[in-house]
Structure 1
Amino acid sequence: MTNLHVDIVSDIACPWCAIGYARLEQAMATLAGELELDIEWHAFELNPNPESKPQPILQALSRKYGRSEAEMEAAQANMIEVATGLGLNFSKMQERYTANTFNGHRLVKWAAEQGKQTAMKQALFDAYFGHAENVEDTEVLLRCVESIGLDTEAAQQVLDSDAFADAVRSDEARYQQAGVSSVPAFIVNNQYLISGAQEPAYLVEALREIAQQK
């Protein structure tokens, strides 16, 4: 069986990142027994200023893209439909507030050392999009840790320190310098870039083609 390494550059606050990974999971299921994917998550922050005050998401997106809140609500409704079809919980997507995700990314790095990087990422996606929880809040972060069976006391020690801060900043600098300006971005075998939340069928064919290049 052929093995491919996939680096996923994403943000916890990015709905298309959650959708993109769910589509990748479907592609992986199709490719089971043919290709094996080794996944590694990397940090990207849509709201990198830790001092910015949380804003209602529709208001913030309207300001960012210069479109009406009604237009943004319609766009979000489309994403909710897509996500629901993939089995994701996006039920509170339009009730969420903007959030700085730096500490969440640190916990994803920490969880990686215990083989639960993807589970941590998915728990954070669910908290933010499914429950409109504040993923800057320590209690929310620790509940996510507990939900995947990791030690909340150890996670609290991470949050109380600067642990993994350099790793998160290194990710952000590395991929910014590499030209990644939007997420999700899937880099396969450090060579091939797949941008955006592509459909499972597209991913299957792209990954097969890449595997043939090895």
Structure 2
Amino acid sequence: MRAVQREPLDANNPLRFTVLRVPFFLEPEYPRDEAWSETNRTRLERKWGGKREFDAQKRRHRLKERGEDVGIKHFNLDRLASSTMASHRLVQWVTKNHGCTASETLYNDLNKRHFEDGQKLNDKRMLAEAAARVGVDANEAMEFLQSGEGEMEIEGALLILRKMGINSIPNFIVGAQHILSGAVHSSELIKLFRQIERTGKGAPDSAFAAVLGIGDDVIARPLDASYNEASA
């Protein structure tokens, strides 16, 4: 997105982006109890049927190399895996109340805290601290996290995903009409963005905004290209 925004085909009419992170659960049956967790190594070895099978998957998908390509020096294999409901709720709440630039910055910070630092995504104290770093009052964030607010919206988004036949991540829904599945290279996204830029056939709204309770004013406010520059 930054590459397209910084070098628009038409300087007088640059492409504008709004990003909504649609919730998805890799482990929907995980207990939502904040005290519960397991290591990601345990989860993946169970998923693939043992250590040997998991090692084969790592070699096949080249996740370490893909991470290094985008500046992630180390994936913490023994990071704490837990229910992600609280983190999904927080991201959506921040989007509603502070906009997509704030929620994208939060999302990137949570990714680092989890995938690199190994922190678990149902730790409410950690989540409130992360929210405070993007300008959200930590006490308000904690009060929200202690409530059940937002869970119904999350469930509604998951229902739409199932109806669309999306049952894995990553998936990118661009312009409400293009779906790119899998760990696509940034060049594929840039190619699609340039196509939309040339034709002007983007999307005026989001397929998920209504079910997630995201207002039109948030959708109309474009993502700031300079967000989270430190991780660029």
TM-score when normalising by structure 1: 0.77
Correspondences of 1:87-106 after superposition (within 5 Å): 87-88=71-72, 91-106=74-89
Decide which moves more: 65-74 or 165-174. Answer: 65-74
1:92-140 CA-to-partner distances (Å, cap 9, x unmatched) read 5212132210000000011102121111211211110121011111122
Per the alignment, residue 45 of structure 1 pairs with 25
Counterpart amino acid of residue 93 in structure 1: N
Counterpart selection for 1:68 from 48, 51, 57 = 51
Q: Which residue of 128, 131, 135 corresponds with 1:145?
A: 131
2:70 aligned residue: 86
- Give the counterpart of 1:124 among 107, 110, 117: 110
Structure 2 distance, partners of 1:30, 1:198, is 21
Secondary structure of 1:194 counterpart: strand
**Residue of structure 2 equivalent to 1:205:** 191
Q: How does 1:107-186 map to 2 (within 5 A)?
A: 107-112=90-95, 113-115=97-99, 116-186=102-172
Q: Which runs of 5+ in 2 are unaligned?
A: 202-232
Aligned length: 190
CA drift at 1:78? 3.8
Deviation at 1:72, TM superposition (A): 6.0
Q: Secondary structure at the match of 1:43?
A: coil
State the AA in 2 paired with 1:184. P
Residues 15-67 of structure 1: CA deviation (Å, up to 9, x unaligned): xxxxxxxxx55565565854222211110011122428522212221221225
**Cα gap change, 1:201/1:73 in structure 2, threshold over 3 Å: closer, same or farther?**
closer
Alpha-carbon distance in 1 for matches of 2:106, 2:19: 13
TM-score, normalized by length of structure 2? Answer: 0.71
User: Identity rate of aligned residues, in percent?
Assistant: 22
Return the structure number with greater relative CO, CA threshold 8 A, min gap 6: 1
Residues 54 and 97, structure 1, Cα contact 8 Å, conserved in 2: yes
Is the 1:76–1:94 contact (alpha carbons within 8 Å) kept by the matching residues of 2?
A: no
Distance 2:5 2:125 in 1: 33
Opposite residue 60 of structure 1, the aligned amino acid is R
Runs of 4+ in 1 over 6 A off after TM superposition: none
* Amino acid across the alignment from 1:82: R
* 8 A contact 1:120–1:144 mirrored in 2: yes
* Unpaired segments ≥5 residues, structure 1: 1-23
Following superposition, the deviation at residue 213 of structure 1 comes to 6.6
Task: Give the conservation status (yes or no) of the 8 Å contact 1:43–1:105.
Answer: yes
Partners of 1:27 and 1:128 in 2: CA distance:
29
1:171 and 1:78 map into 2 onto residues whose CA distance is 30
The secondary structure found in structure 2 opposite 1:125 is: helix
User: What SS does structure 2 have at the residue aligned with 1:150?
Assistant: coil
What is the aligned-residue RMSD (CA, Å)?
A: 2.6
